[in-house]
Amino acid sequence: MPVAQESSSTRRSTFALVIAIDKYRKNSIPPLSGCINDAEDFQMFLTETLHVHPENIHTLFDNAATRDNILKEFDEHLIYNQKIQKDDLIFFYYAGHGDRVDAPGGWSAPKGMVEVICPVDVTAFEDESSTTQGVTRESVPVVYGIPDRTFHALMRHVAEVKGNNIVAVFDCCHSGGISRDLGSDAGVRALPDGSVLSKRLRLPEDLDEKIVNRAPDELQGRNIALKAPDGFSYSGATSHVLLAACQPKEKAREYQTNGRTTRGRFTDNLLGYLRDTVKANSGLQLLRISYADLMKIVAERLKDHIPARDPPCQRPHCEGYHSNRFLFSTEEARTSDTFSLVYGPEENSENAPCVLYMNIGAIHGVVKGETGTRLSAVYSHPASDIPSTRIELYPSRVEPLRSELAIEGISGDRTEEVAKLLNRARATVSVWNVKAMKVRTTQDVPVGNGSFKVVRTKSPGEYADISYVPSVDGGEGCLLTRYDPLITRFARQTLLVERINSRVLDDIARFNFHLYHYTSAARIREELSIKVRLNRLKRPKDGGLGPKLIPADESEDLFTTEGTQVPTLSADPQSAYQLCEDGVKEAIIMDLRPYYGLTLINESKVDIFPYVFYFDPGDYSIAAWYLPQNEQPDAAPLRKQDVPLGIGHGVNADDAIQFSLPPNVNEESGFLKVFASTSYVDMKTLEQPSPWDMNRGSQMKRVPSNPGWSSSTYVLTVRSS
């Protein structure tokens, strides 16, 4: 887990808009019990733990939480609040009903659905016989839920004027059940089949038009920008970090505490962990973990607090471009390769012996054996006076998507005892033990705690993967030269960078390893084939409000234009980085005006989970352009013999791509890498920020498929016309 020194963020002011609804005005909407309890506890956490001034917290509870009031508070308390300075910490908290409804025809939305939160006066249902507090429906104005696109527009506008130190907490679900469920110890609050609430009115196409149009475009990145988010859970949002109570198609559940108070499981466990940790560390300034790590911990904590008779399917998660920031700050946490441990039977083998494993494997680069990948973890023995014990682990068996682990120094009967204690613990990779990156330099190679091997060449004529020397003009910085095949062929071979230290070398080695990592089994690569197309995009002629884009020419593919197939590149045999013999394809982008999109086509005979990453050789950052949002096996984004997956266009799109060139640069290349797996696997840990502060200018049970993974690499070159 990353650590860092205390930052100035603890001295910033904090503001919050807290909304909770237990009792809705419409009689047919079932009441909730724990939302206001959650919100009041969240408010208490802000004032007592974060020491937020009460005047900075605005609340809308029950009857006050109308649609108009919520939108008004966004304007008056957040966007136009003169007390809020740039990068002050801002919270938005919502506990109540959520829903998923049909999207208007002109909106871009995954599978034609949009997510909404439901204000207290929501009435947008086809229910002619119902009444609202004794008033007939005809006399009640239609009030719609607040859709995800409106929420994102509001958050982008807040971020534009107040900075993006914003945290949105949602203790609700958007699965179409429009309820937070209560556990079986107090009854279930899911709506029965055939409920009138299932007859929802379609949202009007011009809903919240003024809000959506006034929000600035969300453009971020180097030479390539992603925009147009859909859904509250959106991994590319730069305006805010989202802490959500559950995954798509899951329900946010309530339960009764020991004091018989109804609470939301998510909020209760989130605040409980934060308070416990602050108390244990004697101060907030030592609570130095990222939002992403926080949610992993809360997810494990929530598992431990769910009674065995209750459904376990609620998995909190974190989304947002800045999910690796330290809590309540704008400071990016140094990402670490940290993963959850599991002690249990082998997958799909309930009667098999239990093993200790983690859900990462060959796709991540795990190397088998005592001399392979090494991990460390900490466990506590409940009967011991010693608070915790650090232990070393190594993979005894590596599969495509998971690895079984052995515990170093532990044998016999103690193996099972310690493995049980390690269940749900977190293990961090201390060294991957892949082939070392060779460095040529006249200076000493700095040695740090990096997880990738770096060695200095022994003679000037020996092959090196990179070299660096002090700036030739005597100024600050270093000249970094790269000799790996992709950068040598496509990118600028030499960079002037501000510094070279152990972290920078580890980031370069990590970048190169994941860029060149591929499965050596040609048959698997063939059987997990994804075709990738790059298209110019345009707005459809029928218009519409949303950022919906379609390919300008369905037959166009910039990766198959004449001359784009690149022959197999050769690398020095001594290089740590060898390319797959399948080669790569290059797209030449010369028209920088339109938006661009990707289309992924499943050419295999199995369902595929794809993962798309952009590797920037100009600053050594790795950005996720597409990650599957649903872990369920039946939710593979690329189904066999099904429709393609659009990134940037169509109803399954979230992001569009915009290319640009930095000033005085005529050509730049970056690398698009597409991973494919037969089951969901957490690949978000591949992301890494630049090591330098650079501002760059993009369900009958079926027989399961055998696990496997593959990847392919593409080059994106931007050239001035």
End position of a domain, from candidates 513, 540, 561: 513
Residues 491 and 381 both lie in one domain: no
Given pLDDT bands bounded at 50, 70 and 90, which one contains residue 331?
confident
Per-residue confidence at 167, pLDDT binned at 50, 70, 90? Answer: very high
Tell me the pLDDT tens digit for each residue of 648-699.
Answer: 876 545 567 888 887 888 889 999 999 999 999 989 889 888 888 665 545 2
Higher-scoring residue by pLDDT: 712, 615: 615
Quick one: 361 and 268 in the same domain? no
Whether the per-residue pLDDT at 401 is higher than 60: the answer is: yes
Residue 1 maps to a domain: no
For residue 465, give its domain range.
437-513
Q: What is the pLDDT of residue 619?
A: 92
Q: CB of 487 within 8 A of CB of 509?
A: no
Q: Which of 371, 337, 375 is nearest to 357 (CA)?
A: 375
Higher pLDDT, 404 or 554: 404
Task: Provide the token pair at 613.
Answer: 């990453």
pLDDT of 1: 36
- Which segment of 27-31, 260-264, 278-282, 307-311 scores lowest on mean pLDDT? 307-311
pTM (2 d.p.): 0.66
Q: What is the mean pLDDT of residues 351-362?
A: 90
Residue 612, in any domain of the structure: yes
pLDDT, tens only, 583-592: 888 999 989 8
User: Which helix (H) or strand (E) is 671 found in, with range?
Assistant: strand 667-677
| Mean pLDDT (whole number) for 152-161 | 92
Distance, in Å, from the CA atom of 642 to the CA atom of 529, rounded to the nearest integer, reads: 14
**pLDDT tier for residue 7 given thresholds of 50, 70 and 90:** very low
Is 129 within the bounds of a domain? yes
Residue that has been written with the tokens 């496997």 in this structure = 708
Tell me, yes or no, whether 399 and 525 share the same domain. Answer: no
pLDDT of 380: 67
**Among the listed residues 117, 166, 149, 127, the one whose alpha carbon sits nearest the alpha carbon of residue 214:** 149
pLDDT of res. 353: 86
What does pLDDT average to over the chain? 80
pLDDT band at 620 (very low <50, low <70, confident <90, very high): very high
Which of 276-285, 423-432, 508-517 is predicted with the least confidence, judged by mean pLDDT?
A: 276-285
| Same-domain pairing of 98 and 214 | yes
Does 225 map to a domain?
yes
Number of domains comprising the chain: 4
User: Are 49 and 113 in a shared domain?
Assistant: yes
CB neighbours (10 Å) of residue 380? 11
Do 545 and 692 fall into the same domain?
Answer: yes
At 697 the pLDDT is 47
Distance CA 719, CA 666 (A): 6
pLDDT of residue 408: 93
Statement: residue 474 has pLDDT above 80:
no
pLDDT of residue 565: 56
Render pLDDT for 245-254 as a digit per residue (tens, 0 to 9): 987 667 788 8
Assess whether 654 and 541 both reside in one domain.
yes
Could you tell me if residue 424 is inside a domain?
yes
User: Does pLDDT of 132 surpass 60?
Assistant: no
- H-state helical runs in 457-601: 485-490, 502-516, 522-527
